[in-house]
Structure 1
Amino acid sequence: MPKLDYRNIEIDAERCGGQPVVAGTRIRVATILTCYRQGMSVEEITQQYSSLKPADVHDALAYAYDHIAEIEQALAEDDELIAKHKR
C-alpha cells in the first residue's frame, strides 16, 4: 500500500503551536475538520477561506482522519481554552 502524501499540510513549531496547517497559511487542519463536521462542503470551505483550493481541503481532511486522535486532542484543548476565557 503506498504511503499517503499530505503535500498541502505542514507542521512548524513556530506556527500555530506546532499544529498541522495548510501549507503557506495559518489555517489549521482542526479548523477545516470542524467546518466539515458542521456541514460545510469543500466548496463552502474554500469560499470561507479564499486562500484555500479544494485540494488543500481534501488533504486536510485526509490528514485529520488519518491522525484523528491528534486532531481531536487539539479540538479538546481549544474547547478548554474557550471555557477558561468565559469564566
Structure 2
Amino acid sequence: MPKLDYRNIEKAPDRCGGRATIAGTRIRVCTILTCYRQGMTIEEIVQQYPHLRPVHIQDALAYAYDHPDEIEADLAADDEAVVQLRI
C-alpha cells in the first residue's frame, strides 16, 4: 500500500511533545479525533477552530485512521495526565 502524504500534519519534537499536530498549530490530531468521536461534524470542528479549513480536519482524521496505535496512545496519555492532576 502506498504511503499517504499528510500535508497538513506534522510532528515536531519541540511542539506538543512530538505528537502529531495540524501543521503550523498546536492543535493535536487526537484533539480533532476526540471532537469527531463526540459527534461533531467537520463543519462544526471548523467553527470551533475557525483558523482551520475542512482539509485540515480531513487530514487529521485520515492520519488518525492510518495510525490508530499512535493516536490511542496519545489519548491514553492525556487520560493518565488528567488522573494525575486529580490526585
In the superposition, the TM-score normalised over structure 2's length comes to 0.97
Q: Where does structure 1 differ by over 4 angstroms across 4 or more consecutive aligned residues? A: none
Partner of 1:64: 64
Task: Name stretches of at least 5 consecutive residues in structure 1 with no aligned partner.
Answer: none
Letter paired with 1:60? A
Letter paired with 1:82? V
Partner of 1:12: 12
2-side partners of 1:2 and 1:12: how far apart?
23
Task: Name stretches of at least 5 consecutive residues in structure 2 with no aligned partner.
Answer: none
Partner of 2:32: 32
Letter paired with 2:25? T
Residue deviations 1:5-31 (CA, integer Å, cap 9, x gap): 100000000000000000010000000
2-side partners of 1:22 and 1:38: how far apart?
19
Q: Percent identity?
A: 64
1-side partners of 2:58 and 2:3: how far apart?
16
In the superposition, the TM-score normalised over structure 1's length comes to 0.97
Tell me how far 1:84 sits from its aligned partner.
0.8
Q: CA RMSD in A?
A: 0.8
